């Protein structure tokens, strides 16, 4: 069956397609979330070193992964929007940013909660935590820049440039922070030396990662739909939707 993909690159058809897809992703993400949390909290064994406290990784690790993936995905779509002048990809990038920032925030927060029993303090200037903090700043910068610009096309393009500059810089920042960390901390405790994980722990974590993906897709699609409505409010097809009472 041949699908005309280009058809869905127009905001109007994407709007209706996304509307049909969102419930599917919501359902899958809820199922995975329940399964993942069950495995994480009831099936996975207690860690012999860290006790029960380690269980926070079932949230922390997926959140940290998502925060990094989403930045790259955001920069990718923003870049496509800049290069090919496709409005929909820029809207996707704008829709991704808050979700990415939220995951970064969760990763930081759960990292602190994990740090308290592990290191005896809420915050350590560990390389990963620090990089995550800087990533959070990058998300905030992207969102504030877009929020400050009234003209949506300029906001798209300016956001794309700063996202791409950020993506080039992330490896450099990551590497610098790593260097800085080894220089200053020497041989302190690090997550790097965590003992090999039991299979069930790994399974639980992977399920949680998948659940986060599904959640992100659902939320991003929903947010893209809202952005489309906002930007296209003057067009005929939105007016028609409004007449039908499909949107409030």
Partner 1 sequence: MFMWIIKRDLLLAMRRQSDVLTTLFFFIIVVSLFPLSVGPEMNMLRTMAPGVVWVAALLASMLSLGRMFANDYVDGTLEQMLLSPQSLSLLVLGKAFAHWLVTGVPLVLMAPVLGIQYDLPADALFVLTAALLLGTPVLSLIGAIGAALTLGLRGGGVLVSLLVLPLYIPVLIFGAGAVEANMAGMDFDAHLSLIGAFLLASIVLAPWAAAASLRVSLE
Partner 2 sequence: MLQGVNLACVRGDRELFKDINFSLETGSLLQVRGPNGSGKTSLLRMLCGLSNPAAGEIFWNGTAIRSLDGDYFADVTYIGHLSGTKDDLTVIENLRISSALAGFEISANQAGEALKHMGLKGREALPVKVLSQGQRRRVALARLLVCSTTLWILDEPLVALDVMAVKLIQGLLEQHLQRGGVIVMTTHQEIEVAAASIMQLYLA
Of 209 and 227, the one with the shorter C-beta distance to partner 2 is 227
**Which of 78, 127, 158, 238 touches partner 1 (CB under 8 A)?**
158
Residues 6+ apart with CB under 8 A from 225: 15, 18, 19, 22
Residue numbers 218-237 binding partner 2 by CB under 8 A: 231, 233-234
Query: Between residue 127 and residue 156, which ones bind partner 1 under the rule CB under 8 A?
Result: 134, 137-138, 140-141, 144-145, 148-149, 153-154
Tell me how far apart the alpha carbons of residues 48 and 58 are, in angstroms, rounded to a whole number.
17
CA distance 239 to 245: 10
Secondary structure (DSSP) of 7-26: GGGSHHHHHHHHHHHHHHHH
Binder of partner 1 out of 40, 111, 115, 166 (CB under 8 A): 166
Is 58 within 8 Å of 205 (Cβ atoms)? yes
Please state the closest distance from residue 234 (CB atom) to partner 1, in A.
Answer: 20
- Rounded distance between C-alpha atoms, residue 81 and residue 11, angstroms: 13
Q: How far is the CB of 183 from partner 1 (least distance, A)?
A: 6
60 binds partner 2 (CB under 8 A): no
Please tell me whether residue 80 binds partner 1 under the rule CB under 8 A.
no
Q: Decide if residue 151 touches partner 2 (CB under 8 A).
A: yes
Helix (H, G, I), strand (E, B) or coil at 47: strand
131 within 8 A of 107, measured Cβ to Cβ:
no
Residue 83 makes contact with partner 1 by CB under 8 A = no
Cα-to-chain-centroid distance, residue 158 = 20
* Interacting residues with partner 2 (CB under 8 A): 150-152, 231, 233-234
* Interacting residues with partner 1 (CB under 8 A): 134, 137-138, 140-141, 144-145, 148-149, 153-154, 157-158, 161-162, 164-166, 168-169, 172-173, 175-177, 179-180, 183
């Amino acid at each position: 069956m041949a699908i005309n993909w280009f058809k869905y690159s127009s905001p109007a058809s994407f709007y209706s397609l996304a509307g049909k897809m969102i419930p599917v992703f919501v359902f899958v993400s809820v199922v995975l979330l329940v399964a993942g949390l069950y495995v994480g909290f009831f099936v996975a064994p207690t860690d012999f070193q860290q006790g029960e406290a380690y269980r926070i990784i079932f949230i922390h690790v997926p959140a940290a992964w998502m925060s990094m993936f989403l930045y790259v995905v955001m920069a990718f779509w923003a870049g496509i929007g800049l290069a090919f002048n496709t409005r929909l990809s820029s809207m996707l990038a704008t829709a991704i940013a808050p979700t990415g920032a939220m995951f970064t925030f969760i990763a930081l927060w759960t990292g602190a909660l994990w740090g308290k029993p592990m290191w005896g303090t809420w915050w350590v200037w560990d390389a990963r935590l620090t990089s995550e903090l800087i990533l959070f700043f990058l998300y905030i910068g992207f969102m504030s820049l877009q929020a400050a610009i009234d003209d949506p096309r300029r906001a798209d393009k300016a956001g794309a440039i700063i996202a791409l500059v950020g993506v080039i810089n992330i490896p450099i920042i990551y590497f610098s922070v790593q260097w800085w960390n080894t220089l200053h901390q020497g041989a302190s405790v690090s997550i790097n030396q965590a003992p090999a994980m039991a299979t069930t722990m790994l399974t639980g974590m992977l399920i949680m990662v998948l659940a986060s993906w599904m959640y992100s897709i659902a939320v991003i699609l929903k947010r893209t739909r809202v952005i489309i409505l906002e930007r296209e409010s003057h067009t005929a097809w939105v007016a028609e939707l409004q007449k039908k009472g499909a949107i409030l």
